[in-house]
Structure 1
Amino acid sequence: MKTITTTQDLSNFCKAAAEHDYVTVDTEFLRERTYYSKLCLIQLAMPGTDESNAVLVDPLSEELSLEPLYDLFRDTSTVKVFHAARQDLEIFWVDAQVFPEPLFDTQVAAMVCGFGEQVGYETLVRKIARGSVDKSSRFTDWSRRPLSEAQKSYALADVTHLRQIYEYLSAELDKTNRKRWVEEEIQILTNPSTYEVEPREAWKRLKTRTNSPKFLAVVRELAAFREQYAQENNVPRNRVFKDDALVELASAKPKAHTDLSGLRLLLREARRGAIADGILAAVQKGVNCPQDQMPKPDRSREKLQVNPALADLLRVLLKSKTESSGVAAKLIASSADLDAIAAGERDLPALSGWRSEVFGLDALRLCDGKIALAAKGNNVETVEL
């Protein structure tokens, strides 16, 4: 079991990997105490049936640069295979503004191939590779050195089994002509906007009891300050102040440091220093926000006139389509999407791309009264009208 700690060794491995059709990749990281993930370990494996073509890469080594790996990521002749790649990709994008190309995500592929919604790696190892994964090191501190043999074995298994999973799923996609479907989903994963959090937009993730523009103006400024402070100091946003404290601050609208001491939900550390100053400045900015610049909540879905009977029919149609296609329902359309379609909305992912082939076209025909649904034995089928 080889651990790479120098740039030269990493370069040698990556050059060898570039001679193959694919390489499997995984990472171990920590994020509990930071805003950005701290990369602690990278696992790589070339095609093979044992551990001889697999390595661990130690990004914490002072003698190692990840540039050879990024060169491999840019090499379009070798597919980079991940499972549930989103968090891994965020690390590489933040560090070097690079995405692996081409990319294959086995979780997305498995959902397309009928393995259910957000299927876990362990499930695929068991069902496809006929193996098992040792869970004992799952919650380990990957930043501590030296790593134990158990930690190394656990980490390496994340890329050795992945080879067989990739080969199986890739073959299934070729058989069913669905590789393009996965490629459409990968475009979302390799879009920089997926990972870039704009502080001024952070308020949209919060749930509040009121949608008053005046209240939301203060929420927006507090959320923007928190996000910017967390990014600049690389601390989790909840370490600055939590969501419930943010809402409390927006309601109380403190004007001075003494007002902060009376707030029940605000952390003690946030009642003084730079955080306290930032809170007061954000509240003041929100209170003084001009009327025409106040945030406007998205009420488009609230105004939808949903036909409940049609929405129910769309749910039956979706279930029928997922059963016949083997594609996870969550990947095709959400319950909110179905309500929107029943209310007349048409600019939805469920009605475009590969989803239109599986579900969207018939969903529109059902809405237009061109088809009906009929039970035939244990199945539901469409009937032309």
Structure 2
Amino acid sequence: MVRPAGGAMNGPRSATPAPVAALDATAETPRLITGREELAAACRRWRRQPAIGVDTEFVRQRTFFPALGLIQIATGADVTLIDPLAVRDLTPLGELLGDQRVVKVFHACSEDLEVLYHRFDALPEPLFDTQLAAAFAGYGYSLGYAALVARIFGDELPKGETRTDWLARPLAPEQLRYAALDAAYLPALHRRLAAELEDRGMRAWLEEEMTELARVERFLPPPQEIYRRIKGAGRLDGRQRAALRRLAAWRERTARELDLPRGFVLRDDVLLALAEARPLDRRQLARIPGLHPRQRRRYGDQLLRELRAAGADPPLARADRPSLAGHRQAIKELQALVASTAERLDLPAELLASRKVVQELVGRVLRGARPALPRALRGWRRQAIGEALEGRCRELLAAAIERDADR
């Protein structure tokens, strides 16, 4: 096990006042951009900054893709809001988000990245996520924005506008103030946390995590892989799984094309029923439980076409997943190794390896997978915990096999 070079493991620094006094005033009456020329001028100014805070507000209730309702940009001196419903051409902002000279600072950025990717067909870069940075700096795992601001700067933020419809206009002053405060502290958090990570020698580790977060396939997975997410697929036989793969891929493409939630097209339980029965015509299709007559009329021909195509596919084998029932003690000991390593590195154990990742490692070793390390234990984790965890896993499993042989 190794500690990152040059890291001083003394825990996070104590709370200090935030250098955001001017932000209180701008958050009370934040500037709202509603015109393209105004946006272009602002983006030219922001491109002279070393880093900007970025946040988004969106709605995702009756659509497949998140509907962008507001964009917040913070510089450390002020906060500006952009109304994407008024400014239809956001090209200047897209160019700013892709500018390699300006760091884009988010908190818990996954959803923001998805929203921006679907709007701009590209991801912001370079990235800095203050939630992940806080975990590497020893503040705790998955810390919320308000909690991190309170922990570092001692400031208490107002509760969020949890029921706001960010697509409704006009937005009330309290909504604008909430949105502004949601980004206001990001530049200050970036400066503080970046310095602490340099002190701890963990900046490169964070950058690896940001690269992983920015993988495009996280936001638009291949349609042919979606069937793996459907609960209950494991009970199907090979031909039924092949049908489910076709049906789930069709639903994914349809949901994206129509911009509807997957369940609005067809629910998972209906896909499973179709895959199990594999109807050949509309008469058989009418017997599928949960398939509404309106859905039969709209999608019937497409469903039958997918099922006929699936009939020509080879059976889809079930993933070989060995039972872990007899290895609970090994998993427990491996989790203890994760916990002791995390304590020595002054990191949250969840950041090193979750229980699910430990279980995946045990399964991969049992079935002889190459490489044995799951993706989540590669990169910086390989040296920090992965290699030691794999070695101990092999020792524990070998000992268990030897005990069983002696019985």
Q: Name the TM-score class by shorter chain.
A: 0.7 to 0.9
1:297 aligns with 2:318: yes
- 1:1-385 equivalent positions in 2, closer than 5 A: 1-48=30-77, 53-61=78-86, 63-208=87-232, 209-273=234-298, 275-286=299-310, 288-291=311-314, 294-299=315-320, 301-302=321-322, 308-342=328-362, 344=365, 346-349=372-375, 351-364=377-390, 366-367=392-393
Give the secondary structure class of the aligned counterpart of 1:88. Answer: helix
TM-fit CA distance, 1:3: 0.5
TM norm structure 2? 0.81
Contact 2:251 2:265 in 1 (8 A): yes
Aligned-residue sequence identity (percent) comes to 33
Residue identity opposite 2:381 in structure 1: R
RMSD of equivalent CA atoms: 2.4
Partners of 1:14 and 1:100 in 2: CA distance? 14
The whole-number CA distance in structure 1 between the counterparts of 2:279 and 2:390 is 52
Please give the TM-score of this superposition, normalised by the length of structure 1.
0.86
SS of residue paired to 2:388? helix
**Aligned letter for 2:174?**
A
Distance 2:281 2:134 in 1: 54
Return the letter of the residue paired with 1:297: R
> Does structure 2 conserve the Cα–Cα contact (< 8 Å) formed by 1:308 and 1:342?
no
SS in 1 for 2:221: coil
| Secondary structure at the counterpart of residue 75 of structure 1 | coil
TM-superposed deviation, 1:70? 1.4
User: Residue 122 of structure 1 aligns to which amino acid in structure 2?
Assistant: A
Highest relative contact order (Cα 8 Å, sep 6+), 1 or 2? Answer: 2
1:348-376 CA-to-partner distances (Å, cap 9, x unmatched) read 3454322133322433454576xxxxxxx
CA distance in 2, matches of 1:193, 1:24: 24
Which range is displaced more, 126-135 or 227-236? 126-135
**Residue 333 and residue 19 in structure 1: after superposition, are their counterparts in 2 closer, same or farther (change >3 A)?**
same
Distance 2:322 2:362 in 1: 14
Q: Match of 1:272, SS?
A: helix
Secondary structure of 2:68's match? strand
Unaligned runs of 5+ in 1: 370-385
* Structure 1 residue 211, shift from structure 2 partner: 4.2
**Take 1:289 and 1:303, find their aligned partners in 2: how far apart are those partners?**
32
